């Protein structure tokens, strides 16, 4: 019991010393606790005074292949004695502040696909490895189009049917993203193996499609090298040039957002993008393909008003910004779904700038 009392007393004493040092009470350096020669001192800048030692000299008769420079100091840094300390250099800003990393399965009606933060060229080798781990042969591979088809698979627990899967790797809405789709078909084992396969729009078995999607998404998520350029496929790199969302010029002073997806998905994702951008939706009429919104412009996060400010009508603009009415229209051209912005407020300036900013906000918040 006495030993525990001494231990507790020591811990209290150390805590008090640490607290005194942290408070920087005048006079502590005079009693030898703080300061350059004290027991408790600031060691943050000690790395600047660390000596540079010569490299280890290994005798010629010994093997040195395991010895390497782990922390090499560039000569330019060594020579810059007057360089600004690291704590004075501002941190770099991220290139894409809205980038969402991860591997998720998205659902829209009867459609399901894997969305991941990697390029199709990076995903292609992993999809091939996935089937290799399952000992399933690929009958058809076309990396330039991102399509692979398995051979017919026979499962012992299902003696009547054989199965075949088609994997499609497509670019995401934005650069640096990929989407993976799986289609499943089945056939009777008693029938001859089909020479020509006609792939349906929907899988024969949603459960088997979902099983492969779940297993493939987990496999890709567990591979850290999915984001490394060294694991990319040069043959599959051409898929990257065809992302599904592009802002293009529609006239001398107009722009439109062209989406290479079906109308149902375009409507849902455009509306979600507007909500994600915290833009007020006044009305949404899918039959007329229009979403009415109020928008006052883009502002920096540091100036972004709070909840009360938005209620007072300041919106996403600056302190003097006024909410204006816009119509977000979706036009089906046959090849693409075009998103165009129409100003509805009369007598207000800056319509052209605001329509472009609104279009950019929708594009940046698409997932």
Taking 60 as the threshold, does the pLDDT of residue 141 lie above it?
Answer: yes
pTM of the model: 0.63
Per-residue pLDDT tens digits for 10-41: 544 444 444 444 444 444 444 444 556 555 56
* Residue 221, pLDDT above cutoff 70: yes
Predicted pLDDT at 167:
97
What percentage of the chain reaches a pLDDT higher than 90?
Answer: 44
CATH 3.10.450.50 fits 245-364, yes or no: no
Residue 99 has pLDDT above 90, yes or no: no
Note whether 103-240 and 245-364 share their fold: yes
13 or 142: whose pLDDT is higher?
142
List the chain domain ranges: 103-240, 245-364
Q: With a cut of 60, say whether residue 204 has pLDDT above it.
A: yes
* Maximum mean pLDDT: which of 1-15, 136-150, 224-238: 136-150
Report the mean per-residue pLDDT for the chain. 76
For 236-250, write each residue's pLDDT tens digit. 555 655 689 999 886
pLDDT digit string (tens) for 345-365? 765 555 678 889 999 999 999
Report the percent of the chain where pLDDT is more than 70. 61
- Which CATH architecture is the domain 103-240 placed in? 2-Layer Sandwich (3.30)
Higher pLDDT, 107 or 97: 107
**Can you give the three-state secondary structure of the chain, one letter per residue?**
CHHHHHHHHHHHHHHHHHHHHHHCCCCHHHHCCCCCCCCCCCCHHHHHHCCCCCCCCCCCCCCCCCCCCCCCCCHHHHHCCCCCCHHHCCCCCCCCCCCCCCEEEEEECCEEEEEECCCHHHHHHHHHHHHHHCCCCEEEEECCCCEEEECCEECCCCCCEEEEEEEEEEECCCCCCEEEEEEEEEEECCCCCCCCCCCCCCCCCHHHHHHHHHHHHHHHHCCHHHHCHHHCCCHHHHHHHCCCEEEEECCCCCEEEEECCCHHHHHHHHHHHHHHCCCEEEEEECCCCEEEEEECCCCCHHHCCCHHHHHCCCCCCCCCCCCEEEEEEEEECCCCEEEEEEECCCCCCCHHHHHHHHHHHHHHCCC
């Amino acid at each position: 019991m006495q030993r525990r009392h001494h231990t507790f007393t020591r811990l209290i004493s150390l805590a008090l010393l640490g607290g005194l040092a942290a408070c920087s009470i005048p006079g502590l350096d005079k009693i030898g606790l703080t300061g350059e020669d004290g027991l408790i001192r600031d060691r943050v800048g000690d790395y600047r005074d660390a000596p540079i030692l010569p490299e280890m000299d290994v005798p010629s008769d010994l093997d040195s292949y395991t010895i390497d420079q782990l922390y090499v100091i560039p000569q330019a840094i060594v020579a810059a004695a007057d360089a600004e300390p690291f704590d004075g250099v501002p941190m770099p800003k991220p290139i894409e502040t809205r980038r969402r990393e991860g591997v998720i399965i998205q659902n829209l009606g009867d459609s399901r696909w894997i969305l991941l933060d990697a390029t199709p060229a990076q995903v292609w080798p992993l999809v091939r490895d996935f089937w290799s781990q399952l000992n399933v042969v690929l009958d058809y591979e076309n990396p330039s189009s991102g399509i692979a088809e398995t051979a017919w698979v026979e499962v012992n627990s299902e003696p009547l049917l054989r199965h075949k899967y088609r994997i499609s790797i497509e670019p995401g809405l934005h650069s640096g993203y990929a989407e993976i789709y799986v289609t499943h078909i089945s056939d009777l084992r008693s029938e001859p193996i089909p020479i020509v396969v006609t792939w349906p729009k929907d899988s024969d078995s949603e459960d088997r499609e979902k099983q492969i999607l779940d297993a493939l998404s987990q496999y890709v998520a567990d591979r850290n090298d999915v984001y490394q350029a060294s694991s990319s496929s040069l043959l599959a790199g051409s898929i990257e040039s065809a992302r599904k969302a592009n802002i293009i010029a529609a006239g001398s002073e107009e722009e439109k957002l062209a989406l290479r997806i079906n109308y149902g998905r375009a409507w849902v994702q455009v509306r979600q993008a507007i909500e994600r951008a915290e833009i007020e939706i006044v009305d949404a009429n899918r039959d007329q393909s229009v979403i009415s919104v109020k928008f006052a412009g883009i502002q920096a996060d540091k100036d972004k008003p709070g909840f009360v400010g938005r209620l007072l009508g300041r919106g996403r603009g600056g302190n003097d910004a006024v909410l204006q009415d816009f119509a977000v229209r979706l036009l089906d051209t046959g090849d693409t779904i075009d998103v165009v912005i129409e100003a509805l407020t009369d007598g207000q300036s800056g319509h052209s700038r605001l329509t472009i900013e609104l279009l950019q906000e929708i594009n940046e918040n698409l997932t």
